[in-house]
Structure 1
Amino acid sequence: MKRFFKYGLAAVLVLALMVSIFGCSGGQSGDNKDAKTSAGQNKPTIVIGSKTFTEALLLGTMTYQYLQHLGYPVENKVGLGELAVIRPALESGQISGYWEYTGTVLINVMKHEPSFDEEECYRLVKEWDEKNGLIWLDYAPLNDTYGIMVRKDIAEKYNLKKTSDLIEQIKKGEPIRFVSTQEYNERPDGLAHFEKVYDFKYPKKYLINAALNVGYEALKSKQAEAGLAFTTDARVKAYGLVMLEDDKKAFPVYNAAPVFRKEIIDAYPQLPEQMKKLSSLLDDETIMELNKQVDVDKKSVDEVSREFLKKSGLIS
Structure 2
Amino acid sequence: MWRAVAWVLAAALAGAMPARAADPLRIGSKRFTESYILGELLTQAAGPPGAAQHQPGLGNTAIVFEALKAGGIDLYPDYTGTLAAEILKLPPGAGLDAIQRALAPMGLGAAIPLGFENTYALAVSDARAGALRRLSDLAAQPQFRLGLSHEFLGRADGWPGLASRYGLPQRPVGLDHGVAYEALAAGQVDAIDIYSTDAKIRKYKLRVLEDDRHYFPRYDAVVVYRLDVPQRFPQAWQALERLAGRVSADDMIAMNAAAEIDGQSFDAIARAFLAGTAGQKATHDGAEPRSRLAAALFGPDTTRLALRHVGLVAGAVGAATLVGVPLGMLAARRRRTGQAVLGVVNVLQTVPSLALLAMLIPLLGRIGVWPAMVALFLYALLPIVRNTATGLEQVPQGMRDAGRALGLRGGQVLRYVELPLALPVLLAGVKTAAIISVGTATIAAFVGAGGFGERIATGLALNDTALLLAGAIPAAVLALVVQAAFETLEWALRRHRDARC
Distance 1:261 1:242 in 2: 39
Task: Report the AA paired with residue 243 of structure 2.
Answer: L
Task: Report the AA paired with residue 76 of structure 1.
Answer: Q
Q: Does 1:125 align with 2:99?
A: yes
Query: Structure 2-normalised TM-score?
Result: 0.41
Q: Does 1:275 align with 2:240?
A: yes
Counterpart pick for 2:224 among 254, 259, 271? 259
Identify if the C-alpha distance between structure 1 residues 179 and 250 changes in structure 2 by more than 3 Å, giving closer, same or farther.
farther
Which position in structure 2 is the counterpart of 1:212?
A: 175
Q: State how many pairs are aligned.
A: 255
1:131 alignment partner, SS class: helix
Deviation at 1:312, TM superposition (A): 6.8
Identify if the C-alpha distance between structure 1 residues 177 and 116 changes in structure 2 by more than 3 Å, giving closer, same or farther.
farther
Distance 2:72 2:154 in 1: 39
2:211 alignment partner, SS class: coil
Counterpart pick for 1:54 among 21, 33, 52? 33
Q: Does 1:81 align with 2:81?
A: no
Distance 1:192 1:135 in 2: 28
Give the aligned CA root-mean-square deviation in angstroms. Answer: 4.3
Identify if the C-alpha distance between structure 1 residues 254 and 282 changes in structure 2 by more than 3 Å, giving closer, same or farther.
same
Which position in structure 1 is the counterpart of 2:208?
A: 243
Task: Report the AA paired with residue 99 of structure 2.
Answer: V
Task: Report the AA paired with residue 101 of structure 1.
Answer: Y
Deviation at 1:57, TM superposition (A): 1.6
1:12-91 correspondence to structure 2 within 5 Å: 45-68=24-47, 74-79=51-56, 81-82=58-59, 83=61, 86-91=64-69
Identify if the C-alpha distance between structure 1 residues 210 and 97 changes in structure 2 by more than 3 Å, giving closer, same or farther.
closer
Task: Report the AA paired with residue 48 of structure 1.
Answer: I
Task: Report the AA paired with residue 136 of structure 1.
Answer: A
Q: Does 1:230 align with 2:195?
A: yes
Identify if the C-alpha distance between structure 1 residues 2 and 101 changes in structure 2 by more than 3 Å, giving closer, same or farther.
farther
2:228 alignment partner, SS class: helix
Contact 2:146-2:191 at 8 Å conserved across structures? no
Distance 1:47 1:239 in 2: 36
Instruction: Write 1 or 2 for the structure with the bigger share of helix.
Output: 2
Query: What CA deviation, in whole Å up to 9, does each residue of 1:163-205 have, x standing for no partner?
Result: xx5368779x8x897442489899996667547756xx66x6x
Counterpart pick for 1:134 among 92, 108, 119? 108
Query: Structure 1-normalised TM-score?
Result: 0.60
Query: What CA deviation, in whole Å up to 9, does each residue of 1:12-69 have, x standing for no partner?
Result: xxxxxxxxxxxxxxxxxxxxxxxxxxxxxxxx74333323432222111111111225
Task: Report the AA paired with residue 211 of structure 2.
Answer: D
Structure 1, 80-89 or 185-194: larger mean CA deviation: 185-194
1:118-197 correspondence to structure 2 within 5 Å: 120-152=94-126, 165-166=133-134, 178-181=144-147, 193-194=161-162
Query: What CA deviation, in whole Å up to 9, does each residue of 1:260-297 have, x standing for no partner?
Result: 32232135667667535434243554333322322332
2:134 alignment partner, SS class: helix
Contact 2:44-2:52 at 8 Å conserved across structures? no
Distance 1:263 1:297 in 2: 38
Deviation at 1:302, TM superposition (A): 0.6
Contact 1:179-1:208 at 8 Å conserved across structures? yes
Deviation at 1:208, TM superposition (A): 7.8
2:224 alignment partner, SS class: strand
Task: Report the AA paired with residue 214 of structure 2.
Answer: K
Task: Report the AA paired with residue 241 of structure 1.
Answer: L
Contact 1:56-1:99 at 8 Å conserved across structures? yes
Distance 1:252 1:294 in 2: 27
Q: Does 1:293 align with 2:261?
A: no
Which position in structure 2 is the counterpart of 1:7?
A: none
Which blocks of at least 5 consecutive residues in structure 1 are unaligned? 5-43
Distance 1:193 1:108 in 2: 12
Distance 2:111 2:203 in 1: 31
Distance 2:154 2:21 in 1: 51
Instruction: Write 1 or 2 for the structure with the bigger share of strand.
Output: 1
Which blocks of at least 5 consecutive residues in structure 2 are unaligned? 1-18, 279-501
Task: Report the AA paired with residue 58 of structure 2.
Answer: G
Which position in structure 1 is the counterpart of 2:73?
A: 95
Deviation at 1:91, TM superposition (A): 3.5
Q: Which one has a bigger Cα radius of gyration?
A: 2
Which position in structure 2 is the counterpart of 1:36?
A: none
